[in-house]
């Protein structure tokens, strides 16, 4: 069966990982989540540096080994925020491009951060809707690492990198790594913030996915972004506004068996 959806998981350089054991454990959860797709019309590509100790990968997964150097600005430190963000986008985008070139002829592509989780119906949904430009995730869940609660978040595609399914031709993928400018890599591949507007301006606007498509893991040391926990980010600022606090409390969800089945792969 041909693949309706290709998942691409960029993994940072080993030297940029604060805790490789934690990264490997989180990646294993991401892999299990993807592997639980209800449809068989998918494949997945993990992009990692030579020598990386990866978890065991099931069938339909392949590895694209790369030799990119470590990102010298993987921590912001005293660097200006845009310089820091551009360095992250360039490093991540190069890995994604390597995965796309490895994938060859693909239908739709979804970029998945190495610690996030995806809904098990994504591949089936794409299979039922061939030819569409793609979808952005208007809603998704935020999960405090290893917690029992999740938060349903709107405008999810502007928060989390695991939030788009896009027809591969719309990326206008260069023939080789050398043919890709740094600006292309940062804007089209390394940033989930810009892609919606770029495709809309081209006349190939993405549609909202009609169900929450992913879980964004927050509040742990290994994330691509310096994300905070749910309560620190969404509830502490509302303590002086009972109405806002009530509305946000209504968005909390328990990590039920159904949630585990849909996103965690068990």
Residue 26 lies in a domain: yes
The pLDDT of residue 257:
96
Which pLDDT value is given to residue 226? 47
Let me know if residue 164 belongs to a domain.
Answer: yes
Asked if the structure places residue 51 within a domain, the reply is yes
CATH number for the domain harbouring residue 116: 3.90.550.10
pLDDT of residue 1: 62
User: Is 185 inside a domain boundary?
Assistant: yes
Q: Please report whether residue 27 resides in a domain.
A: yes
Sheet holding 139-144, edge to edge: 117-118, 214-218, 139-144, 149-154, 252-254
As a whole number, mean pLDDT of residues 33-52 equals 98
Residue 93 lies in a domain: yes
The whole domain housing 126 covers 5-137+160-217
Predicted pLDDT of residue 199:
98
d(CA 152, CA 98) in angstroms, rounded, equals 32
Distances (CA, A) of 131 to 32, 62, 106, 166: 27, 25, 12, 10
pLDDT tens digits, residue range 222-264?
Answer: 554 445 556 565 654 555 566 777 777 888 999 999 999 999 9
Tell me the pTM. 0.92
Assess if residue 151 is contained within a domain.
Answer: no
Does residue 97 lie in a domain region? yes
The structural domain count of the chain equals 1
């Amino acid at each position: 069966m041909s693949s309706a959806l290709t998942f691409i998981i960029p993994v940072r350089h080993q030297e940029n990982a604060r805790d490789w054991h934690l990264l490997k454990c989180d990646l294993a959860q991401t892999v299990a989540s993807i592997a639980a797709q209800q449809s068989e019309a998918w494949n997945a590509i993990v992009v990692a540096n030579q020598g990386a100790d990866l978890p065991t990968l099931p069938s339909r997964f392949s590895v694209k080994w790369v030799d990119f150097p470590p990102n010298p600005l993987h921590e912001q430190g005293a660097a200006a925020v845009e310089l820091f963000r551009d360095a992250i986008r360039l490093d991540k985008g190069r890995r994604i491009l390597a995965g796309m070139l490895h994938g060859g002829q693909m239908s739709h592509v979804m970029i998945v951060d190495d610690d996030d989780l995806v809904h098990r119906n994504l591949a089936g949904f794409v299979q039922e809707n061939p030819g569409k430009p793609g979808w952005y995730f208007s809603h998704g869940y935020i999960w405090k690492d290893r917690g029992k609660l999740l938060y349903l978040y709107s405008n999810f595609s502007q928060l989390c990198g695991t939030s788009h399914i896009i027809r591969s031709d719309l990326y206008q993928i260069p023939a080789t790594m050398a043919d890709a400018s740094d600006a292309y890599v940062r804007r089209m591949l390394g940033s989930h913030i810009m892609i919606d507007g770029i495709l809309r301006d081209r006349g190939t606007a993405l549609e909202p996915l009609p169900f929450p498509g992913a879980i964004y893991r927050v509040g742990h040391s290994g994330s691509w972004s310096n994300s905070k926990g749910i309560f620190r980010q969404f509830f502490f600022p509302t303590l002086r506004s009972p109405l806002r606090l009530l509305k946000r409390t209504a968005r909390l969800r328990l990590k039920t068996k159904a949630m585990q089945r849909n996103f965690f792969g068990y």
